[in-house]
Amino acid sequence: MANLKVLKNRIASVKSTRKITKAMQMVAAAKLRRAQEAAEASRPYTERFNAVMGGLAASVGDSASAPKLLSGTGRDQTHLLVVLTAERGLCGGFNGNIAKLAKAHAQRLLAAGKTVKILTVGKKGRDALKRELSSHFVAHVDMTEVKRVGYENAQDIARDVLARFDGGEFDVATIFFSRFENVVTQHPTAQQIIPASFETDGDAGAATLYDYEPSEEAILADLLPRGVATALFSALLENAASEQGARMSAMDNATRNAGDMIDKLTIQYNRSRQAVITNELIEIISGAEAL
């Protein structure tokens, strides 16, 4: 009988686990939709921004007076890795994949004799990198209080990164985040933001000759810091969508696993119940025969 009781409790506990994972999956699905909408709403800005910057960078980029944010400091000794992850776990390989990519990148740089500095955004990435790379941490941005990623969040991080760049703390900055493709696929991505590189469509940038007001250099100097914020903002949004997508599929798997487990346990429960009944019958019958 003791065995039966244990099984029954086990089934009940797996059932409540399934309820929780199911609920989490639904919450993630709802949040995913919102995150995706936010990512899509920001796309026109990012696209146009990059198009204009690409054109500007192409016309100013080679001159010696080009801002450092575009041409670099001329060295690549010190690297800043900005690792963007989630604040919460239970989202499959999402945090782990980003951390793994960042770690591999850091180790490659260290092996080449470079100095590595790490800025983490989101608790989970910090935890994942703490064991091996904690001596390289320079700062951490806490996003626990942030319900919905806004442009201000990106601006705050950008301001911090730019202050460090102006202070000569690093030469190259790379951000690590997860690019959202669809609910089941998210690609951990590394993107260099300083010195800036803009994807140009080749001919599109050069097609129109613009008048610049004030000068090209002044516009570039004004816009490049904004470019850092824009890149961070779109990375944060991609990340938010990826996190929810990853959580949704992880919780979907968990729910299905719990279902399978309940089925298995139920069969086991029924079998042992039947065994107990058979046993009792045998006892009664053999008792009756003995009389």
User: Active-site residues: which are they?
Assistant: 91
Q: Can you tell me which of 3, 9, 34, 45 binds another protein, judged by CB under 8 A?
A: 45
Q: How far apart are CA 12 and CA 178, in angstroms?
A: 37
Return the closest-CA partner of residue 128 out of 241, 184, 120, 177: 120
Q: Can you tell me which of 1, 209, 290, 291 binds another protein, judged by CB under 8 A?
A: 209
Amino acid code (one letter) for 191: Q
Element (H or E) spanning 24, and its range?
helix 2-60
Give the tokens for residue 184. Answer: 């089941």
Give the tokens for residue 165. Answer: 């760049």
CB of 76 to another protein, least distance (A): 26
Return the closest-CA partner of residue 86 out of 123, 50, 114: 123
Instruction: Kindly indicate which of the ranges 39-47, 64-72, 118-126, 248-256 contains the residues binding another protein, using the contact rule CB under 8 A.
Output: 39-47
Nearer to another protein, 33 or 271 (CB): 33
Q: Can you tell me which of 1, 44, 112, 144 binds another protein, judged by CB under 8 A?
A: 44
CB of 29 to another protein, least distance (A): 22
Residue environment code for 74-113, b if the CB has 16+ CB neighbours within 10 A, otherwise e = eeeebbbbbbbbbbeebbbebbbbbbebbbebbeebeeee
Q: Can you tell me which of 48, 187, 256, 264 binds another protein, judged by CB under 8 A?
A: 48
137 binds another protein (CB under 8 A): no
List C-alpha distances in Å: 176 to 94, 130, 170, 285: 12, 16, 17, 72
# residues contacting another protein (CB under 8 A):
28
233 binds another protein (CB under 8 A): yes
Nearer to another protein, 84 or 109 (CB): 84
Q: How far apart are CA 288 and CA 269, in angstroms?
A: 29
162 binds another protein (CB under 8 A): no
150 binds another protein (CB under 8 A): yes
52 binds another protein (CB under 8 A): yes
Q: Can you tell me which of 20, 27, 29, 38 binds another protein, judged by CB under 8 A?
A: 38
Return residues touching another protein (CB under 8 A): 38, 41-42, 44-46, 48-49, 52, 56, 150-151, 154, 163, 208-214, 218-219, 222-223, 226, 230, 233
